[in-house]
Amino acid sequence: MAIDFVKEIERLKKEKNAVIMGHYYQTGDIQDIADYIGDSLALAQMARKTDADIIVLCGVHFMGETAKILCPDKKVLVPDATAGCSLADSCPADEFAKFVAEHPDHKVISYVNTTAAVKALTDVVVTSSNAKQIVESFPADQKLIFGPDHNLGSYINKLTGRNMLLWNGACHVHEKFSVEGIIKLKKEHPGAKVLVHPECPAVVVALADKAGSTAGLLKYALSSDAKEFIVATESGILHEMQKKAPEKVFIPAPPEYSEAKVGCSCNECNYMKQNTLEKVYLALRDEQPEVLIDEELRKKAVLPIDRMLEISAKLGL
Ligand code: 13P
Ligand code: SF4
């Protein structure tokens, strides 16, 4: 008989005092069974707060790692341990360590999309929800390194007037939105607001009515008077947008321009989509794959995440 994954997940969650946290880029069925969904900042904040014994982090590996760094006494499970991140991969710790060593007078700001080893080289971690405010919390004359996302770093440099040294990393999903495709969609839907994640290149961000983290884009879409939105970030976020505002129309921005087909919903993160309901069920049942981190590394990596959470709390983020 086929297993009812939703029912089994509910049962195992209660039996094991487990909590399921999911990123907005997860498939709709996973978002629907998650106890909490959010962007990278919210997931870190929720991990810090939960009193569950087990966290099942439905996202990609660095998100599970961040939860484990924050909660060493809890069991942190991920549905698929091979779900990586092209952005985190674009910043190998040994190369980043050399870059940091070449600039000893710089403080290091790292995007949360990094491995624990890169976080251990970092002064403050940021997410797209708090990067601007955290950069501004440094004195104007403090020299800064920002890694690994070059697009987000350039965007923050522009917003703050800083001149941070940027690591040349990128996310393969946000890199490939088509400017021509978005312009064509905008002509077809003249009243639509364009929502863009700042991991996208500057030419795409330039088209935005609102640039922001996934949570920021969601908030804007819900409070805006507009009825239509063109969304240039991973298409998983459309599930929550549509759920919270069923009367509005959310159009995924196309990853490539094509006369024949514009507006396809195929700009998905293949890593995020490796997770399935079955894998969530198996992770809970078998209590693996478990995220484990060397304690020495964890102690170094937790400091910049704690700083981020402290600054964010002070700023009410
Ligand atoms: P946020 O969750 O901070 O919006 O980041 C988007 C992302 O690419 C996560 O992998
Ligand atoms: Fe990494 Fe990009 Fe996927 Fe986010 S969308 S997990 S940054 S590859």
| Contact (CB, 8 A) for 290 and 40 | no
Distance CA(194)–CA(88), nearest Å, equals 27
CA 38, chain centre distance (Å): 9
Helix, strand, or coil (residue 124): strand
The answer to which of 1-15, 42-56, 253-267 has the lowest mean pLDDT is 253-267
To which CATH superfamily is domain 87-170+297-314 assigned? Answer: NadA-like (3.40.50.10800)
Q: Closest ligand to 175 CA?
A: 2
Cβ–ligand 2 contact at 113 (below 6 Å): yes
Gap from CA of 198 to ligand 1 centroid (Å): 10
- Ligand 1 atom with least separation from CA of 215: 4
Amino acid at 179: V
Q: Which residue has the higher pLDDT, 316 or 17?
A: 17
CATH architecture of 174-268: 3-Layer(aba) Sandwich (3.40)
Q: Is the pLDDT of residue 137 over 50?
A: yes
Distance CA(132)–CA(130), nearest Å, equals 6
Cβ–ligand 2 contact at 90 (below 6 Å): no
| CATH 3.50.50.60 describes domain 5-82+273-295 | no
Cβ–ligand 2 contact at 234 (below 6 Å): yes
Helix, strand, or coil (residue 9): helix
Q: Closest ligand to 236 CA?
A: 2
- Ligand 1 atom with least separation from CA of 85: 10
**pLDDT per position as a tens digit, 81-112:** 999 999 999 999 999 999 999 999 999 999 99
Residue 306 is predicted with a pLDDT of 96
Distance CA(50)–CA(19), nearest Å, equals 8
The residue-averaged pLDDT of 19-44 equals 96
Cβ–ligand 1 contact at 130 (below 6 Å): no
Domain residue spans in the chain? 5-82+273-295, 87-170+297-314, 174-268
**pLDDT per position as a tens digit, 196-233:** 999 999 999 999 999 999 999 999 999 999 999 999 99
Distance CA(222)–CA(227), nearest Å, equals 10
The residue-averaged pLDDT of 32-57 equals 96
- Ligand 2 atom with least separation from CA of 171: 2
Gap from CA of 87 to ligand 2 centroid (Å): 6
Gap from CA of 40 to ligand 2 centroid (Å): 11
